[in-house]
Amino acid sequence: MRAHAARVAALGYACLDYRFWVERFPPVGARTPAGAYRMDLGGPAAVGALTVARLGGAAVFFGRRGDDDAGRRAEAILSVEGVDTRGFRAFAGARTPVSGVLIASDGERHIFAYRGEGLPDGAEWLPLDALRTAQAVLLDGRWPTGAARAAEAARRQGLPVVLDLDGETAAAMRLAGLSTHVIADEEMAAACGGVDRLLSELTELGVWGAVTQGAAGVVHAAGRVPGFPVTARDTTGAGDVFHAAFALALAEGQAEDAALVFASAAAAQRCALGDVPRRSDVTPLCRGRGRRA
């Protein structure tokens, strides 16, 4: 973490991933050998907090987990990277979400998600005093009650609120209206009637919007930022890294267009490295585009 690092508060979903690299997907037989295996952190906001820390920012994570081994392992992954986990609450009797992730030879991932059990919806316990030292807030939509509470508090402080929009539900669109910056992926845009229609809806809400399109880059109201060509080892969490890098760039005072380049470079390196990148991994790509990082 750099001196005087910008601080991002991330709130939402955390899980423990069990990842297997396979040569063929879908399988053709009852047994499919895996060439590699890794246990890692999953969940948009949790990976976002980890990303902020690895990119040189300061991160605090708000989320829910079970009082079980999977939850303790997920929290340990965040803690070892310096993420403040004061708001990552363990609930007795609850079960932490876990995912099985199969990664094909082209780097594309196939996720089998277990969303956990016994995680209460209420958010009155959130330590929102941690937002007082934040420069941006990052949300996913997997815990709408908590996300709305954090967004409302952040907006009262005048903070940028970045939302990973992954649903067309009433709760998701309410969160979009509480945010300042909303980024969706192309699947979400298709469900909403296309990229242009979704961006138009976000503009009508008074929200800055963008849509990521994988290797093709990201589209926003003012144009397109091309992607960085890389050979993908693992695309798992690339979108989560993108959102977090964008939020960190805003927290550092970067404008949206520069933040998109930084976020695109970070997501590309996530795919190429098969891991959440560090600042030193991202800086060379940004400089190649004439941007600071």
Q: What's the pLDDT score for residue 292?
A: 66
Domain spans in the chain, listed from the N-terminal domain onward: 7-14+43-96+121-288
* C-alpha span between 293 and 285 (Å, rounded): 9
Residues 237-288 pLDDT 10s: 999 999 999 999 999 999 999 999 999 999 999 999 999 999 999 999 998 7
Q: List the end-to-end C-alpha distance of the chain, in Å, as a whole number.
A: 14
Residues 158-172 pLDDT 10s: 999 999 998 878 899
Q: What is the pTM of this model?
A: 0.94
Q: Report the alpha-carbon angle 270-163-200, nearest 5.
A: 110
Q: What's the pLDDT score for residue 290?
A: 66
Token reading at 250:
């805003």
Q: Which residue type is seen at 156?
A: R
DSSP code, position 201:
H
Write the DSSP string, 35-98. Answer: EEEEEEEESHHHHHHHHHHHTT-EEEEEEEEESSHHHHHHHHHHHHTT-EEEEEEEETT-B--E
Residues near 28 by Cβ (< 8 Å), separated by ≥ 6? Answer: none
Q: What's the pLDDT score for residue 221?
A: 87
Residues near 145 by Cβ (< 8 Å), separated by ≥ 6? Answer: 121, 122, 123
The residue ranges of the chain whose pLDDT is under 70 are 1-3, 290-292
Selected from 3.30.2130.30, 1.10.8.50, 3.40.720.10, 3.40.1190.20, the CATH number assigned to the domain covering 7-14+43-96+121-288 reads: 3.40.1190.20
